[in-house]
């Protein structure tokens, strides 16, 4: 038996040649820790792409080029296929391009299926009646549930609430038209065990970000589609009759007038006021635009994002997406000449809208995205956020801040290459970082091919 180091240089056990406990210093096949890191980085990126691709296919939208790339990328990570680090870096950037196409496809799929998102204030209170709480990311599942409730004539008795990444569903007209869809309950996935236990009705998990339930609600949670929980009834073929029957058995919720949260921004409704935005930027009334978004995570470093958004001054906009925003989206940020300072674009895939806006503003101002008064601060927990990062790198965006911790699957050598080529930064102190963001100082070292220093 080999002695496994406390801090592994790598861990690979995907082939029968691997040492007992896995190869931890160098692969028997010959790959080193940096190559192993690049392979893992690619695998995590395509996992994120697969999620968005899957949700597009759910509503009958497809782009074979995406599937072809996923097959190529997976194949490239097999044993004894590709030892070229530069080619893996190229594949990671190509993953970024393909992920951008997946976000574009999903945006088109949702807009054409459920209508173009519109800004809307969503109640965080409750209505009288039996409750159903829907969490995850699948608008297809939510639509089928709402449709069946209507067809059964139960829209007055049953009220449906969104949770976490389902919150932006309220912005889509063809979902909002259902009388059963009422409001939003709770925040991000992180607090679901407490929030689900407190919710008196049934819960439906539709995708990732569901956790094994506690005894407090195990008998009233269901899954559908890609999601699955051990010991929990899985809904087949979107037949929600068992869930609806169970919901009618739960105690009725009382009416409660909670606050409201704003969502529903999209590149179409923001670019409709493009001329006004450019005017305010040129007049100095909008001094800076901050893109602060991404996953929520239990890491203590998430306090950084709460503090940063608190520090951002009144002459700056904050554009956000994904579930990390629940840490700071309930504040009243005010407006700049009628434009809300905090713009929520929805789920993590809706970063696509923010990208479209940045490109459009750069074109109108005759510059490139890196020269705009824009700073990007991302939080990551899982693979979809990583794939979004790859899309931004593919587009050549530099000076991105990431946190709350560096990705452990990147070796110091690989991270250093990304830092040099893209000025990739780790979050540090929010006050100091904010000053740097306003200076928009980018110092990118010129370099040869990306992997030269890894050899």
Instruction: State how far the Cα of 57 lies from the Cα of 262, in Å rounded to an integer.
Output: 28
What structural domains and CATH numbers belong to the chain? 33-114 (1.20.1270.20), 120-249 (3.40.50.2030), 267-454 (3.40.50.2030)
- The DSSP code sequence of 171-227 is GSHHHHTSTTEEEE-S-SGGGHHHHHHH--SEEEE-SSS--PPPTTTGGGEEEETT-
Given phi > 0 = left and psi -120 to 50 = alpha, else beta, which region is 428?
A: alpha
Of residues 417, 368, 422, the one with CA closest to residue 398: 422
Q: What is the mean pLDDT of residues 82-109?
A: 97
Residue 135 has pLDDT above 90, yes or no: yes
Q: Please, are residues 175 and 139 in contact by the beta-carbon 8 Å criterion?
A: yes
Distance separating the N- and C-terminal Cα atoms of the chain:
29
Query: Nearest CA to 349 among 98, 18, 130, 52?
Result: 52
Q: Is the per-residue pLDDT at 453 higher than 60?
A: no
Residue 6: its pLDDT value, please? 57
**339-383 pLDDT, tens per residue?**
999 999 999 999 999 999 999 999 999 999 999 999 999 999 999
* Length of the chain in terms of residues written: 455
Residues with Cβ < 8 Å from 102, sequence gap 6 or more? 49, 52, 53, 56, 63, 66
Q: Are strands 316-320 and 234-235 parallel, antiparallel or unpaired?
A: unpaired
Of residues 80 and 5, which shows the higher confidence score?
80
Is the Cβ–Cβ distance between 213 and 229 less than 8 Å? Answer: yes
pLDDT score of 445 more than 60: no
Residue 228 pLDDT greater than 80, yes or no: yes
**Do 209 and 164 touch, CB atoms closer than 8 A?**
yes
Residue 31 has pLDDT above 60, yes or no: yes
At residue 171, does pLDDT exceed 80?
yes
Structure-block tokens of residue 455? 């050899």
CA proximity to 419, closest of 162, 194, 198, 411? 411
Q: pLDDT value at position 8?
A: 80
Per-residue confidence band for 439, with pLDDT thresholds at 50, 70 and 90: confident
pLDDT digits (tens, 9 = 90+) for 404-427: 999 999 999 999 999 999 999 999
Percent of the chain's residues with pLDDT above 90 = 94
Report how far residue 292's alpha carbon sits from residue 192's, in angstroms, rounded to the nearest whole number: 23
């Amino acid at each position: 038996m080999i002695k496994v180091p406390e801090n592994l240089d790598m861990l690979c056990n995907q082939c029968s040649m691997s040492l007992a406990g896995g190869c931890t210093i160098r692969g028997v096949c010959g790959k080193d820790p940096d190559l192993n890191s690049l392979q893992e980085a690619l695998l995590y990126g395509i996992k994120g792409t697969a999620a968005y691709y899957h949700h597009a296919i759910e509503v009958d939208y497809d782009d074979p080029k995406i599937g072809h790339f996923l097959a190529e990328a997976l194949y490239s990570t097999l044993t004894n296929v590709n030892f070229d680090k530069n080619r893996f870096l190229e594949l990671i950037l190509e993953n970024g391009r393909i992920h951008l196409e997946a976000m574009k496809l999903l945006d088109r799929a949702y807009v054409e299926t459920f209508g173009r998102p519109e800004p809307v204030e969503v109640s965080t209170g409750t209505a009288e009646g039996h409750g159903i709480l829907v969490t995850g990311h699948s608008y297809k599942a939510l639509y089928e549930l709402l449709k069946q409730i209507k067809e059964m004539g139960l829209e007055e008795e049953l009220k449906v609430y969104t949770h976490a990444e389902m919150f932006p569903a309220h912005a889509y007209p063809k979902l909002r038209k259902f009388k059963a869809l009422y409001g939003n309950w709770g925040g991000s996935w992180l607090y679901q065990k407490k929030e689900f236990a407190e919710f008196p009705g049934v819960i439906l998990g539709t995708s990732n970000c569901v956790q094994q339930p506690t005894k407090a609600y195990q008998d009233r949670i269901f899954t559908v589609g890609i999601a699955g929980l051990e010991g929990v009834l899985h809904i087949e073929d979107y037949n929600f009759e068992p869930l609806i029957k169970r919901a009618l058995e739960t105690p009725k919720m009382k009416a409660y007038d909670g606050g409201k949260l704003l969502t529903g921004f999209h590149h179409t409704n923001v670019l409709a006021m493009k001329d006004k935005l450019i005017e305010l930027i040129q007049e100095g009334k909008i001094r800076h635009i901050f893109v602060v978004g991404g996953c929520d995570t239990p890491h203590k470093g998430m306090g950084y994002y709460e503090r940063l958004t608190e520090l951002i001054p009144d002459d700056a906009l904050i554009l956000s997406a994904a579930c990390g925003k629940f840490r700071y989206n309930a504040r009243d940020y005010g407006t700049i000449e009628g434009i809300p300072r905090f713009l929520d674009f929805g789920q993590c895939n809706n970063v696509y809208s923010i990208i479209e806006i940045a490109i459009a503003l750069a074109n109108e101002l005759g510059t490139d995205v890196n020269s705009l008064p824009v700073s990007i601060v991302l939080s990551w927990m899982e693979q979809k956020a990583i794939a979004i990062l790859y899309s931004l790198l593919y587009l050549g965006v530099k000076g991105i801040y990431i946190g709350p911790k560096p990705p452990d699957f990147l070796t110091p050598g690989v991270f250093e290459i990304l830092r040099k080529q893209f000025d990739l930064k780790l979050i540090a102190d929010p006050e100091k970082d904010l000053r740097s963001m306003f200076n928009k100082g980018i110092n990118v070292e010129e370099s040869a091919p990306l992997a030269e220093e890894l050899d």
